[in-house]
Structure 1
Amino acid sequence: MIGFIRRHPLSVLLALVLHVAIVSLVAIQWDDSVVIRMSSDGDQHSPQNIPVDMPKESQPMKTFTVNAGAVQAELQRLQDEEQARLEERQRLQAMTAQEKKRLKELQQRQKEEAAKADQARKQTEQERQKTAEAKKRAEEEKARADKARKEAVLAQKKQEEAKKQAELAEKKREEAKKQTELAEKKREEAKQQALLEEKKREEAKKQADLAEKKRLAEEQKKRELEKELARKAEEKKALEKATAEAKLKKEQEMAAAALQRQLEEEAAQRRAEQRRQQLASLKESYISAIMAKVKNNWRTPAKISPDAQCDLRITQTIEGNITSVKVLNCNADATPQFRVAAEQAVYRAEPLPKAPEKELFEKQITFQFKP
């Protein structure tokens, strides 16, 4: 249906117009005195009076204007409905195919599960038979093991008795050995004690000799220290005198140096203040130049409040090329259109004016932008 309409749109349109005209002729009331004529462009002409005594057969038929837009809209609606029905059929066909595929897979899985269950039953039967045989063998092994265990218990009892006898004899030998070792240890301790006493006597003699040497060395050191103190007292007097003279001279030099530093610092501060003011003025001019260039590239969007304002943070290279623009801290009057337009104004201003001084360049510049 849709394909036919697309191939013959004019024929379909004429058919619809004809149907609408027929329905209108059936539904309307005839007027014996007025006829409405249609121009070729569809506009209505003024009604004309028709003589009352004109025969009914010779009176012209009343005609009506057909709205081509309404007909086109009706055609579009029919096309949309046909497209919707086609898409619904395709969706149902896809769902049917998917359901068939799912049922086929389910049947296949059921067959596989049935085969697995049959295999499991066979395996269970084989396991049951193996278990019965293993149980029988285990019972036979248990009987043989019980007999062997009884024999082993008897042999173990005999071994334990023999072991007790051996342990008793070993214990007696150990006791005798301990007595011998104890006597030997006492003799060794007595020998060590004698050696220790001899060592203490020799150590006491060495300590006495060291004490005498230390006393003589201290007396000699005391005499040398007294001589050194007398010499240092003389040196101290001379040093104090020289120190006083040097201190006075140093104080004079320090006062002169301090005065010179103060004068130099004041001059440096004046130069720094002048430089700071100069840089501040240059920076202000630099920022103003950037703001002016951005504002010159501003394209005012429709319906922007004159009170709108935003802070713009621009990231740039030293050549003035823009790497990013971020809109910050906008007031309530700044609409999304205003923010986008402000950002675009910055990009249109590329490259930005270069810094007049290299030290004034800042990679990121933030300023307030108003329309």
Structure 2
Amino acid sequence: MLLVVAAAVVALAGIKAIDTIIGPVVLALVLTIAVSPIRDWLTRKKAPGWLVVALPLAVVIVVLLGMVAILTTAVVQMAVLLPTYSAQFNRLVADAQKWAADRGIAPQVNKALQSLDPAKIFDFAQSLLASVLGVVSSLLLIVILLLAMSLDAPIISRIMSAASAERPAITRALTTFAYKTRRYLLVSTIFGLICAALDVVALYILHVPLPLLWGILALITNYIPNIGFVIGLVPPALLALLTGGVQRMILVIVAYLVINVVVQSFIQPKFLGDAVGLTTTVTFLSLIIWATVLGPLGALLAIPLTLLTRALLIDSDPSAKWSGALVSGDIPNDQPRS
């Protein structure tokens, strides 16, 4: 166990040291896997070789650029809007101070309010914008990787087919990884669109500025497991506080909680089934680990990265079935269920 933990620490430290390379590589791999059905369909239709490569690549590039544009727009809009609400912010602070003074807790509340400086929020928005724009510097590398992987995809597919007889365990593990990754992305996208549409309707009803933009942001953050909708909730909740006070902010928070808890906790698992094959604890730990190692990109890719790790270290080893059971929560078929 100590050897395994030590090896994991060394491996994660090495990945973190080259996170600017590993992150784009994994993102390109996941996107290539996501559009593989398009490539397979074109191959079955006997489309020209250049079209088999160009069409999936074009789809991925459009989606990738769209996500970066949306995130950049969201941060820019926040940076532009926040300074215009300085008067409302000061009024909210004054109301909070008066409320605290009436209840004899003014010193504690005043100390907390000192950290809520609009200028600090604006500086944070600017730094966040700089971080988002930093992703653009990796786009050229991601596009080159996508092109290379798209060109090599047919070759890799033939190699996997040829290796299935000699190395059935690793072939089956990698094939399962690709299938589960595609299904996870498909189900997450469908239910992310449902949540985003409902969020937009709620924000329109509550008169929160830029509801469509925050709905699209909610769709993107839906790919972050467990806490994604909380990240997408922060901008509209803050604007609701500035435009309509505490009551409107509470209504926005309640609306997001109801929509996302009902859809993601009760409806989505019924359709997702065993597509991911990870327990709730493993999912949450994977989010923490990969976000620490690879940053925001690691949070977005937490599930695919964990599925890849499971395929390489557990599913490819027939003797590791109990390790797989601990990760997935499924008891092996040859053992009785309690």
Q: TM-score range by the shorter chain?
A: under 0.3
User: Larger helix proportion, structure 1 or 2?
Assistant: 2
What is the TM-score normalised by the length of structure 1? 0.16
User: Larger strand proportion, structure 1 or 2?
Assistant: 1
What is the TM-score normalised by the length of structure 2? 0.17
